[in-house]
Structure 1
Amino acid sequence: MATATENLWVARQRPLITAWIKKQFPWFDAIQQHLLNISNVVPQRFILCFFGFLAIVNAYTMRHCLDIALAHIVTPKRKQIRLRNLDTVKLSSFNLYERMEQHRNGTLLSFSNRRHGKDDTYDWSDQLQTFILISFYVGYVLSHMPSAQLAMRYGGKWVLAIGLTITALLTMLTPAVVKWGGPLALIAIRLLIGFSEGPTYPALSELLSKWVPGKERATLGSLVLSGSQIGISMGNFIAGLLLHRYDWSLIFYYFGICTLLWCIGFAYMCYNTPEENPFIKVREKQYLQKEIGLVERFQHKTTKTPWREIFRNLPMWALISATIQYDWTQLQHAAEVPQFIRDAKQQPLIENVINGLQNQMPYIMNWLLSVLSGVISDLLVNYEIFSVTVMRKLMAFVAAVAPNLYDSLLPCLSCSETSNLFAFCHCAINVLGSYYAGIKLTPLDMSPNFAATLMGIANGIGSISGIVAPFIKHSFAGWAQFKIVHAFLWLISTLLISGDIQPFDQLIPLTSDSNKIE
């Protein structure tokens, strides 16, 4: 009864909203007609995957824009960098231990918003900058599980759209918060930005489980979920161009407006299930119903989540471990970019563009290889050359070996071999693309019914790396031992992940005591 009432309310409100939009924006009819023409040619599942890809791109541009802008917000300080020993390199938020040592030795943590000179730069301590950077991940981790449950109960569309809309608005408010609220207000708004961006992956997993058939899962799933690489690349490149001519605040306005435009298109073109989509052709709907099954909206309102079975599942813990290892590695590579962008600001525009493209090529190649690995995976699985589990393990193993090999060879390079250093770094980032066809897809493989929950658990726990990483001491011996443990856990995780449907993937009806976690 509740489902019918909700569907009736939505059906009544849609014409009223459309009529109001047409009255306020006369050009809406022309855009609507163009969108209808596109939907008649392109399958609806491809349209949803395209908007899902853009969702992650926008999420990552907004996530990392402060990391880039912070170098221009804060008064620059001289830092000594030695390439031979990576442990002495100051990388973004990865040196909190040293900063805490400075604090204990008498360097006080100041929360003042004191400006430096006549320009809009602020004299913030290194410790304070670190707390600003990690505040995003605190909110990001906290919202994963609640948003996963909301996506399962009400569909992923509006959970994703509302989350990114709030993120965009808060991102556009960030410059004003920096200028008028100070560092404490900035920490608060970054925490809220992380909280509102947290639903992105769980909501997308819920949508993909309803729209992407198993035969196309690796290709379309890798295309969507690897949007983070394009987001990092575009964010760094566009931010570098904007910072060459304009104030740092323009970065936040630009990426926020782009996300709001995405939200409008996504809300109009995408739907929770094929059954809800009015633009889908009968042939495509029948194909999806045959491959995925008839999707009943709000079906999770009458079922309970098998928490006990999920947390007792060994492949689930392997997924969590592998996600932690990957997030750690990605944070290491992403932390190196803001320094390059700050140095490039002093170069001519044409050199800035060329250097920007060169610096972002590893991320672009990473994305291309992730899509290619997805295509190869689907071909080998569909032709029954490998099983889904074997294919996922193979791709996960490739993603695990490359960065660990890079970390092993790095101490052997001298300062005169910087070209080899960057070549190894680029190769390591490139090969990481197979992670998406190996590990990131396994929530959809293991449990299509609870894909959002599995993604919320794995990605949420994995994101703790962004909080914990700064507290690890960068002493040579300690860091070397940590890398060995990191490599061992990643390789073991690749052997234990599974691409098979797990026993807990059953929709169990709710009982009177269903609110208890089992």
Structure 2
Amino acid sequence: MRVNLSVAIVAMTNKNSANPDFEDFDWDESEKSLVLSSFFWGYIITQIPAGQLAERCGAKYLLLVAMSLCSLLTTLTPLCASYGGWMAVCGLRVLEGLCQGVLFPSTHSLLSKWAPAAERATLGTYCYSGSQFGTVVMLSISGVLASSVMGWPSIFYFSGAAGAVWAIFWFIFGSNSPSEYKNITPEERSFIESSIETTTTDSNATRPPTPWLAMFTSLPFISLIIVHSGHNWGFWTLLTKIPAFMASVLGLEIKSNALLSSLPYLAMMLMSYFFSFLSNVLVKTNWVPLVYSRKVFNSIGHWIPMLALIGLGYVSNDQKNLAIGLLTLAVGINAATYLGFQCNHIDLAPNYAGTLMGITNCCANIMSIIAPLVVGLIVKDESNIEQWRIVFFISAGVYFFGNLLFVIFSKTDVQYWNEPTRRRNENGSTQENTRSGVA
């Protein structure tokens, strides 16, 4: 539901569409950029509140309500476009963003309660690779759906229906914690709860106040905010603009455009499993300390795509295979960040994993708003490779500096403010928990 518009908007604004029975819209590049970025206007608002709610009240019904509403809103997109134009679609996407803003903070909160420490990175990778799976499916079939008898509206009907089906399964099987899940075996519940009891608070009822000041004065956490923001700038520039780049510069029509647009995200999904396996091997054999593992994987996930983006700025429209290869590399290698900054929130403060993810994802998605707008300001002629080159160079620079700060300042020690009731000792120094955790 988040990415369907990236491909659909190509068909919606294509006056030479193979399916002329459905309305097309005369939206210029600036208007299309506003439509594509509007999702994030709502998305950033609910990030931090969602983290707090998920930690204090549980994530099950928060996710259920949010996804059900978002599914309904998605199916209304064609109606809004027909009767209200691009401004109505913007408003609808803002509401969808408000709903989906709860997803990542809630998922992090669930992981902190369900994932044993030794399996945290693996289970986290499986959870978040679902984002790429959804992207692959949506981008792969969007071209076919747009050319079907139902036209481009079927893109929104399909993704809305998929969200509704998920909500039914989540209502039946989802649970806030092992203690609330009726079908879990006593042995499994005991195993999970005993493995995470030292990294979670005893109960939501006795939960201490969130240590906001300590969070925002923590250098490792500040570096985490910056690297997450840099990641979103590059990732969402590519996600929202790959279809337009392929159509205008490479001259690929909508069906092959959608299929090829999904290839980088298929590579990212598969690479996430490979990197997860590699991380487990490194940790279990003690070859690489956890803090260096986080930094190495994050550098792979940001600096190799940086180089690919620089190369992409010099391809021409007769080098389609090279361009597709570089795009696939730039997005696919991003998967290494699942073992880098994306699980560092739980390293720093497992008691506040949902809130930390809410804060960094809120800040990062401000970049997701700005990045497509910057593309709209730079790319006035979508077929001009020199204008696209500026876009790719900016993304490469953001990747470089964001990861550089993470490499210098990030930590994997559980921070003292994970347990706010701890007090400073008589000398005024902070009693920090220096436990490094498990990947």
Q: Could you tell me the TM-score, scaled by structure 1's length?
A: 0.72
Offset of residue 440 of structure 1? 0.7
Secondary structure of the corresponding residue to residue 252 of structure 1:
helix
1:225·1:440 contact (CA, 8 Å) conserved in 2?
no
Q: Which residue of structure 1 lines up, in the alignment, with residue 345 of structure 2?
A: 443
Structure 1 CA distance, aligned partners of 2:348 and 2:309?
A: 31
Q: In the alignment, which of 166, 169, 173 is matched to residue 269 of structure 1?
A: 173
The 3 A distance-change label for structure 1 pair 132 and 419 is: closer
The 3 A distance-change label for structure 1 pair 301 and 71 is: farther
Q: In the alignment, which of 137, 154, 160 is matched to residue 57 of structure 2?
A: 154
Letter in 2 for 1:135: S
My pick for the range that moved more, 130-139 or 494-503, is: 494-503
Q: Which residue of structure 2 lines up, in the alignment, with residue 136 of structure 1?
A: 39
My pick for the range that moved more, 355-364 or 172-181, is: 355-364
Secondary structure of the corresponding residue to residue 180 of structure 2:
coil
- 1:244-255 alignment, distance < 5 Å: 244-245=147-148, 246-255=150-159
Letter in 2 for 1:218: A
1:240·1:341 contact (CA, 8 Å) conserved in 2?
no
1:217·1:378 contact (CA, 8 Å) conserved in 2?
no
Letter in 2 for 1:484: G
Q: Which residue of structure 2 lines up, in the alignment, with residue 283 of structure 1?
A: 187
The 3 A distance-change label for structure 1 pair 199 and 444 is: same
1:216-251 Cα distance to aligned partner (Å, 9 max, x none): 111111111122222221111121221121311111
The 3 A distance-change label for structure 1 pair 405 and 183 is: closer
Q: Which residue of structure 2 lines up, in the alignment, with residue 175 of structure 1?
A: 78
Gaps of 5+ in 1: 1-61, 79-116, 510-518
Offset of residue 483 of structure 1? 4.2
The 3 A distance-change label for structure 1 pair 344 and 424 is: closer
Gaps of 5+ in 2: 379-386, 423-439
1:139·1:195 contact (CA, 8 Å) conserved in 2?
yes
Aligned length: 404
Structure 2 CA distance, aligned partners of 1:296 and 1:146?
A: 19
Structure 1 CA distance, aligned partners of 2:270 and 2:21?
A: 45
Letter in 2 for 1:393: K
Offset of residue 480 of structure 1? 4.6
Letter in 1 for 2:403: W
Q: Which residue of structure 2 lines up, in the alignment, with residue 124 of structure 1?
A: 27
2:295·2:406 contact (CA, 8 Å) conserved in 1?
no
Offset of residue 471 of structure 1? 4.4
The 3 A distance-change label for structure 1 pair 170 and 124 is: same
1:155·1:298 contact (CA, 8 Å) conserved in 2?
no
Q: Which residue of structure 2 lines up, in the alignment, with residue 164 of structure 1?
A: 67
Offset of residue 498 of structure 1? 2.1
Letter in 2 for 1:385: W
Question: Cα RMSD over matched residues?
Answer: 2.7
Q: In the alignment, which of 360, 370, 373 is matched to residue 272 of structure 2?
A: 370
The 3 A distance-change label for structure 1 pair 126 and 326 is: same
Q: Which residue of structure 2 lines up, in the alignment, with residue 491 of structure 1?
A: 404
Secondary structure of the corresponding residue to residue 181 of structure 2:
coil
The 3 A distance-change label for structure 1 pair 393 and 131 is: same
Letter in 2 for 1:173: L
2:59·2:106 contact (CA, 8 Å) conserved in 1?
yes
The 3 A distance-change label for structure 1 pair 346 and 174 is: closer
Larger Rg: 1
Letter in 2 for 1:67: S
My pick for the range that moved more, 377-386 or 257-266, is: 377-386
Q: Which residue of structure 2 lines up, in the alignment, with residue 315 of structure 1?
A: 220
1:396-416 Cα distance to aligned partner (Å, 9 max, x none): 111121111113333454555
Offset of residue 263 of structure 1? 0.9
Secondary structure of the corresponding residue to residue 179 of structure 2:
coil
1:466-496 Cα distance to aligned partner (Å, 9 max, x none): 2112443536779857743542232232332
Structure 2 CA distance, aligned partners of 1:403 and 1:357?
A: 21
Percent identity over paired residues: 28
Q: Which residue of structure 2 lines up, in the alignment, with residue 401 of structure 1?
A: 303
Q: Could you tell me the TM-score, scaled by structure 2's length?
A: 0.84
